Amino acid sequence: MKKKIITFVLAGMLLLGACTNAAPAVQNTTEQTLKTGEVDKSVYMDATQDVETRIEALLAQMTLEEKIGQMLQPEQAYITAAEVKEYGVGSVLSGGGSAPTSGNTVIDWAYRINELKKAALETRLGIPLLYGVDAVHGNNNVYGATIFPHNIGLGATGDVELVEKIGVATAAEVRAIGAQWTFAPTLGNPQNVRWGRSYECFSEDAPEVAEFGTAYIRGFQGEKESDTYLDETHVLACAKHFIGEGYTTDGVNQGNVEMTDEEFDVLLESGVLDPYTMAINEGVRTVMVSYNSVNGVKCHENRHLIREVLKGELGFTGLVVSDYNAVQQLSGITYKEQIRQAIDAGVDLFMEVSTWKDVLKNIKELVEEGSVPMEQIDEAVCRILRVKFEAGLFEEEIGGEKELALRDEVGSEEHREIAREAVRKSLVLLKNDKVGEQTALEALKEADNIRLCGQKAYDLGNQCGGWTISWQGLTGKTTIGTTIIDGIAAAVMPEKTLSHDIKGEVLAENEAIIIVVGEGPYAETDGDRSENGVTISATDKEMLANLRQSLSNQGKEDMPVVAILIGGRPLDITEYMDLFDGIIMAWLPGTEGEGIADVLFGEYDFTGKLTYTWREHPGDTQSPVLFEKGFGLTKAQ
């Protein structure tokens, strides 16, 4: 691998020649600009010029402070519009749950984002602002947006064309609020589902991750080299997190991959790098670095992985962004040294959300004292400007007609129907035992009196999971959507009788039972679990114990019991296999819960297949396999 890297590093340097070769001219022009205050926008504001010419023309007129400003990405809660203008800040983000102070509607978001974007255009050079959001399963921070199933469910659909359609719909809902960049998709392939980000990944196998990831990127950005690529109805995608996050010991979020550097290079060559190779070939223009370490070294300070592998071997010429405050985890004793390590490793854009002024100060000092070569600053700024030019930000009309038209698509019927289809196709039927002469699913459909048990049946926030309205997700009616019980009620009533109980009590007149159980919402480290912790909630376990007793008391042990599981990974259900006649894994379906009823009571059949191995005890990677990867029944099976 390292022989190839040398060749690709040289190729990458040639690709960036317009930036690196311009250094002497940059200095001379900057001195003249400082004296006169004049700016020549004739070339870099001319959309007919090629991108590299525009970059060189702009870079040659930038002061050191203006260059550093482009390398900053504060959180919107920690910066004002006046500060964007004063410091020439190049990018702003909204982290999970970071809504504008005025409210969480589309209008609130658009006003806040466009306020910041307009301020950037008032700077001396008029470089547009790049605004990023965590739209990881729809524009999920915004009230009323369509929330699609999380990636683990999308992988189970086996439908890459559908995933591309979801990318298109999400892009429209993101552009409707003025943002131009989503920090998605995640390209990890988890090897231990104890990891709290397992649901953000499509599969445990890299080839499937590559296939679904590139489809999502194509949907977000438009097809590479087409007329719609990165137009004003699409957004910049972000391949994340580079690299190795699914391989940490015990699945610990931000943990360590216990391999030597040579062993990890072999792992990359074995296929783990393929999702990034395909993403770059698909035209992805941003990559986010992972929090995790490899052989004890944080990826954010790993020069080999960023400069040699990503920018060298893979020939990536877009921008590399750090993760949320990740630079503060590096080995340097001081913040200044941590920033130097990140720049040297190849980080271009610093997502240091509240300490961005310190980043500016420290980078300036590092350059002036010679600890960071000016060439590294120029390279980073070139990459950032390249992405802005390629994405058409210099020609973007802030709050223009296209943006206004897209506001009608937020949470639209068309987008919700796509999400509903995704829910249908993501459902995996794991068990469908015979109950008398029928399968459990056939008996359920014919039953006239159905009992629906479990709090999660009417909990919209729970079925959406983490990264929904807030970072960790919330229970209850957090946004606009259809709960599982609402979907089932609409499908069966008034022809059938449907009743609901939280505690698992069965009535004498009941003919079939549906229970909804699983995990509560979580994100990232809060979702990490112990070896025995990958299981359903304590409240649901209590409900199932009551259900067993109630079935016995009523003498109804032979009544069909169909379980709907809500969760972000395979769950430990071994002790309930005798209780459940039917088991449906619904993952984290999002806002369109009626997609479940479409399959249970409609003409749709189960088509979903597992993209993860489901073990008897999922937190133990040595545990026997309960359901093989690729498993999934139909109603008749």
Instruction: Decide: 507 and 498 in contact? Cβ < 8 Å.
Output: no
- 3-class DSSP string for 488-520: HHHHHCCCCEEEEECCCCCCCCCCEEEEEEECC
Dihedral of the CA atoms 347, 350, 356, 362 (nearest 10)?
A: 0
Q: Let me know if 223 is a catalytic residue.
A: no
- Determine which one of 524, 540, 592, 594 is catalytic: 524
DSSP secondary structure letter of residue 44:
T
Both ends of the chain: CA-CA distance in Å? 47
Instruction: Decide: 293 and 257 in contact? Cβ < 8 Å.
Output: yes
* Per-residue tokens: 210: 């590559």
Distance CA 568, CA 473 (A): 12
Q: Let me know if 524 is a catalytic residue.
A: yes
DSSP secondary structure letter of residue 124:
S
Per-position DSSP letters for 224-268, written without gaps between them: TTSTTTT-TT--B--EEEETTGGGSGGG-TT-EE-S-HHHHHHHI
- Determine which one of 159, 204, 301, 323 is catalytic: 323
Q: Is 298 helix (H, G, I), strand (E, B) or coil?
A: strand
Distance CA 303, CA 608 (A): 41
Distance CA 303, CA 289 (A): 12
Distance CA 246, CA 292 (A): 9
- 3-class DSSP string for 416-448: HHHHHHHHHHHCEEEEECEECCEEHHHHHHHCC
Does residue 296 come out as left (phi exceeding 0), alpha (psi in the -120 to 50 range) or beta? left
State the amino acid at position 138 in one-letter form.
G
**Which residue, 208, 191, 304, 184, is CA-closest to 244?**
191
Active site residues: 323, 524
